[in-house]
Structure 1
Amino acid sequence: MSSLADALRGIAFAKMTGSGNDFVFFDGRTVPISLVTSPEAIQRICNRYNGIGADGVVALEPLSGDADVRIHYFNSDGTPADLCGNATLCSTALSAAIGLASADGMRLTTGAGLITSRVRGLPEIDFQPVHEMTNDIAVPMADGETRVGFVVAGIPHLVILTENAENIDVAVRGPGLRWHPATGPSGTNVNWVSPLPNGQWRYRTFERGVEGETLACGTGAVATAVMLAEWGLAKEEVVGILTSSGRTLEVRLPAAAPTKTGMRTDYRPTLRGEGRVVYRGVIEDI
């Protein structure tokens, strides 16, 4: 038995899902955060065959003062990320449920800045303004792809407009685009989006840090909605984004006048979606 396995034994956790984007959560009041957020621990915990299995690990640290809770988020490969939209939705729901913050309104500290959130049936979170937005970048496009934009919505995202997102071979197409040089040294998430007959949009995401397709991506939904609005394709204030789990994420983009260049620089999106505890448990041997 390894020393890490011994140290983790007996630690309580909650397994949560945000539209199929799944996480293992720890309460920082009772669990040593540094123990469960070491790269080796995260990789063991997220292993879907010999561990609990998840896209990432989250530790919630209670705060006082300007914020109620700090979110420590890590991808399944052990790397930290400034923000994960679905993990923040889940953090909002769990923080309210376990008494870390009020469901009526809370302030969450993330690597991407302060996030305000609340639970109104479903959790919803207010993003910091998006930035580094480019409507069109030079990316070689595959069959059916018609436009590519880039935006940082907490973390970097490529958004690719395509005729049918279901036809994309994400496992083949994703890795090269994830490291596209125009997106910076840390690379990017990659999202493909196509219209649905009901006025919503279907998207699929290749996530960095997971290094594969996930069933949902909250920041990806926000980035996608922003780019659709910039392209003049999403004209409603609330944009419905259908995930690969079959659940819908809603992105609210409050109306505002465009700048002289025609591009908005003041997007402060709100994301609403699932944040559900699937089960609670105690680590035994991992």
Structure 2
Amino acid sequence: MKLTFYKYQGTGNDFVMIDNRQNIFPKNNTKLIAQLCDRKFGIGADGLILLENHPQYDFKMVYYNSDGNESSMCGNGGRCLVAFAKQLDVISEKAKFEAVDGYHFATIDSKNIVSLQMITVDKIQVNPEYSFLNTGSPHHVALVENLKTFDVKTEGAKIRYSDLYGKAGSNVNFVNQLTTDKFAVRTYERGVEDETLSCGTGATAVAIAMHKTNKTAAKTIQIQVEGGELAVSFDEENGVYSNVFLIGPATFVFEGTIDV
């Protein structure tokens, strides 16, 4: 059959979007999903996202990594899905949707800047050399020197597959502090098994971890990723991070059809 798809990117984190409100997509075909995400033999993307009907909310988000497996929450993917829902006239300026980690609220402005509410974070493991927390996906956060020349893929894979995180593994973020409220981040993403230009849950994890470890007192933090800039805002009380918002652009790239 011919499958209509839409391509979106959020600070270089790119996704194949499919309107699956009619349940046309073969969701269990991991080989097909991996092929669609393949940059040589398919459309090419860090992940594939289905927009589906939901009985209570505006829509449901179903997210797959580029390896074809359904995965944990993707922040940039969620932001792009909000922009996609606007393009489909499912929403206008506000969205309520369900993802794998629960309910999300988002707003989108006329310039397609999406503010996506992330989950509340109340558990952060702080170790001398790294922090670990779950922002919808698990994230290892470590400060490093020479971030621009750092071997993210090799060092990230070592940590992702280490005994520290077992079979499930973790995403890995390497961080350099730029100013009192701005950090540069490079991320190794599990499921992609490589560095990506941006990771939304990773940017969120870095912002919270840097605040938790007293690297910044700011509650709106700028995150410079390889593909652009994001912002993360939150409230914090007694170590609990709530009203967490991931903020940044969500950009339509192109649409097309592909035989599957």
Contact map agreement 1:164 1:193 (CA 8 A) in 2 = no
Amino acid at match of 1:176: K
The equivalent residue for 2:119 is: 128
Displaced runs of 4 or more, over 4 A = none
| Residue 115 in structure 1 maps to residue 104 in structure 2 | yes
Give the deviation of 1:79 after TM superposition: 1.4
Contact map agreement 1:37 1:74 (CA 8 A) in 2 = no
- Cα offsets for 1:95-144 (capped at 9, x unmatched): 122112232x211111111011110340111111124311116xxxxxxx
Amino acid at match of 1:265: V
CA RMSD of aligned residues (A): 1.7
Separation (CA, whole Å) in 2 of partners of 1:131 and 1:207: 23
The equivalent residue for 2:233 is: 252
Give the deviation of 1:275 after TM superposition: 1.0
TM-score by length of 1: 0.85
The equivalent residue for 2:154 is: 172
| Residue 76 in structure 1 maps to residue 66 in structure 2 | yes
Unaligned ranges ≥5, structure 2: none
Unaligned ranges ≥5, structure 1: 1-6, 138-146
TM-score by length of 2: 0.93
- Cα offsets for 1:144-190 (capped at 9, x unmatched): xxx31000000100000123321310121011101233335411000
Amino acid at match of 1:272: I
Which of 1 and 2 has greater Rg? 1
Amino acid at match of 2:230: L
SS at match of 1:196: strand
The equivalent residue for 2:245 is: 270
Separation (CA, whole Å) in 2 of partners of 1:241 and 1:175: 22
Matches within 5 A, 1:215-230: 215-230=197-212
Separation (CA, whole Å) in 2 of partners of 1:198 and 1:134: 22
Separation (CA, whole Å) in 2 of partners of 1:237 and 1:95: 29
Separation (CA, whole Å) in 1 of partners of 2:28 and 2:17: 11
Count, aligned residues? 258
Contact map agreement 1:203 1:243 (CA 8 A) in 2 = yes
Structure showing the higher strand proportion among its residues: 2
Matches within 5 A, 1:184-223: 184-197=166-179, 199-223=181-205
The equivalent residue for 2:54 is: 63
SS at match of 2:164: helix
The equivalent residue for 2:14 is: 22
Contact map agreement 2:97 2:104 (CA 8 A) in 1 = yes
Contact map agreement 2:117 2:246 (CA 8 A) in 1 = yes
Contact map agreement 2:181 2:220 (CA 8 A) in 1 = no
Give the deviation of 1:37 after TM superposition: 5.5
